[in-house]
Amino acid sequence: MAHIVIVGAGLGGLPTAYELRHILPKQHQVTVISETPDFTFIPSLPWVAMGLTSLESIQVSLQPRLKQKGINWILGRVDYLNPQDQKISFGEQSITYDYLIIATGAELALDAVAGLGPDGYTQSVCNPHHAIKAFQAWQNFLLAPGPLVVGALPKTSCLGPAYEFTLLADYVLRKKGLREQVSITFVTPEPYAGHLGIGGMANSAELVTKFMAERGVEVIENAAVTAIEPNQIHLGNGRVLPFAYSMLLPPFRGPRFVRQVPGLSNQDGFIPVLPTYRHPEYASIYAVGVVVEIKPPEVTHIPLGVPKTGQMTEAMGMAVAHNIAIELGVFSAPPVTPTLDAICFADFGNSGILFLANPVLPDVATGKRRRAVALSGTWVTWAKALFERYFLAKMRFGTAVPWFEKLALKLLGLSLVAPLAVKRIIKEE
Residue 175 lies in a domain: yes
Q: Sheet of 3-7: strands edge to edge? A: 72-75, 29-34, 3-7, 99-102, 285-287
The 10s digit of each residue's pLDDT in 199-247 is 888 899 999 999 999 999 999 999 999 999 999 999 999 999 999 999 9
CA distance 249 to 264: 26
DSSP line for 93-152: EEEE-SEEEE---PEE-TTSSTT-STTTT-B--SSHHHHHHHHHHHHHHHHS---EEEEE
Residue 176 lies in a domain: yes
Residue 187 lies in a domain: yes
Residue 238 lies in a domain: yes
Nearest of 30, 102, 25, 97 to residue 329 by alpha carbon: 25
Domain with 187 in it: 128-249
The 10s digit of each residue's pLDDT in 45-59 is 999 999 999 999 999
Residue 93 lies in a domain: no
Catalytic machinery residues: 158, 344
CA distance 186 to 193: 9
Q: What is the four-CA torsion angle of 315, 320, 322, 324, rounded to 10 degrees?
A: 180
Residue 145 lies in a domain: yes
DSSP state of 265: S
Residue 327 lies in a domain: no
CA distance 209 to 101: 39
Q: How high does pLDDT run on average in the chain?
A: 94
CB burial readout 205-228, b (16+ within 10 A) else e: bebbbebbeebebebbbbbbbeeb
DSSP state of 372: E
Nearest of 378, 386, 382 to residue 351 by alpha carbon: 378
pLDDT at 413: 82
- As for how many domains the chain has, the answer is 1
Q: Which residues contact 194 (CB under 8 A, 6 or more apart)?
A: 200, 204, 205, 206, 207, 208, 209
Q: What are phi and psi of 385, to 5 degrees?
A: -60, -40
For the segment 263-269, the average pLDDT, to the nearest whole number, is 96
Residue 220 lies in a domain: yes
- Percent share of the chain, pLDDT over 70: 98
pLDDT at 381 over 70: yes
DSSP state of 250: P
* CATH of residue 206: 3.50.50.60
Amino acid at position 353, single letter: I
Which residue stretches of 120-272 are H helix?
128-143, 160-175, 204-214, 256-259
Reported as a pLDDT band with limits 50, 70 and 90, residue 408 is confident
pLDDT at 245: 98
